[in-house]
Chains A and B, each alone.
Chain A
Amino acid sequence: MEAYFWAFVVGGLICVVGQLLLDVGKLTPAHTVSTLVVVGAVLAGFDLYEPLIDFAGAGATVPITSFGNSLVHGAMAEAERTGIVGILTGIFEVTSAGISAAIIFSFLAALLFKPKG
């Protein structure tokens, strides 16, 4: 149960940061989400995001910041194997599941559903 508690708290706090950017920083949602992705990538650069995932589990992998983290990890893992070109070939390696799933399911939804209201 402890894992659920920390996932709740850490995930909730990341969302509070987003809400503060929206309300206090007066950013649009698109700016907020883009900012958090960049923050995730930078945290990954300092090796700070992996410890957060160890600590909070889904509390760190479900928020969009983990997208930036995964992009960096894919690029770094491939760069270690194949050198500097690996950054280009590996950048989507880890995030493939998320992007593919979003494209495929969204397209299916567009086939099946009509806009509401």
Chain B
Amino acid sequence: MSNKEKKKLTPVQQQYQSFSKAREPQRPVLFNCVKAFLVGGAICALGQGVSDFFIWNFDFTEKTVGNPTVAVMILLSVILTSLGVYDHIAQFAGAGTAIPVTGFANSMASAAIEHRSEGFVLGVGGNMFKLAGSVIVFGVFAAFLVALIKTTLTLLGGS
């Protein structure tokens, strides 16, 4: 909570804030980071294996292999999510499973499966992007700004 918000609170509320803060369990930051590093690194090494598979067996270069790799990683993640395994790994690894693209697929697949009981249109269709939507919205808007600035600079530079 920022200082600005704190000033609006009554003294009792402020007391409670410091009381709850003192009793908040300490997060084992270092241990969490080690777990995130190991699991995240393992997922990326697996992705490297998938990349090499595509380069050796199909006509992909190191530049173009990113797309099929991501697709396969997403497929794996959706399968593990459907079987209920991914959530257990995620509980252990924290950001190690959330940051790779598999976490993106996990958030979509789990939302889709979870809301199935509300029907396919309103439940599955409407909720699939509930968590993943923010990634796409901010990604697209940031990319739009970056591309706009770069294109404008190139045009101004006359190259």
Contact = CB atoms under 8 A, between A and B. Distances in A.
B136 interface: yes
A12 B36 contact: yes
Nearest to A88: B144
Contact of A15 (B39, B47, B69, B128): B39
A38 B128 contact: no
Query: Chain B contact residues: over half helix, strand or loop, or mixed?
Result: helix
Query: Chain A contact residues: over half helix, strand or loop, or mixed?
Result: helix
B122 interface: no
A21 B155 CA distance: 37
Interface hub of B29, B44, B78, B135 (most chain A Cβ within 10 A): B44
A58 to B, nearest CB: 3
Contacts of A15: 36-37, 39-41, 95-96, 99-100
A115 B135 contact: no
Interface string B1-44: 00000000000000000000000000101001100111111111
Interface residues of A, number: 77
B36 A16 contact: yes
B70 A97 contact: yes
B116 A114 contact: yes
A52 interface: no
Contacts of A98: 67, 70-71, 74, 101, 104
A75 B144 contact: yes
B104 to A, nearest CB: 6
B75 A105 contact: yes
Interface of B: 27, 29, 32-33, 36-52, 62, 66-71, 73-75, 78-79, 81-82, 84, 94-96, 98-105, 108-109, 111-114, 116-117, 120, 124, 128, 131-132, 134-136, 138-140, 142-144, 146-152, 155
13 contacts: A15-B37, A19-B94, A29-B98, A32-B98, A34-B135, A59-B48, A62-B102, A64-B99, A64-B103, A68-B139, A84-B152, A114-B116, A117-B84
Interface of A: 3-4, 7-24, 29-30, 32-34, 36-38, 40-42, 44-45, 53-54, 56-59, 61-68, 70-72, 75-76, 79, 84, 87-88, 91-92, 94, 97-99, 101-103, 105-110, 112-117
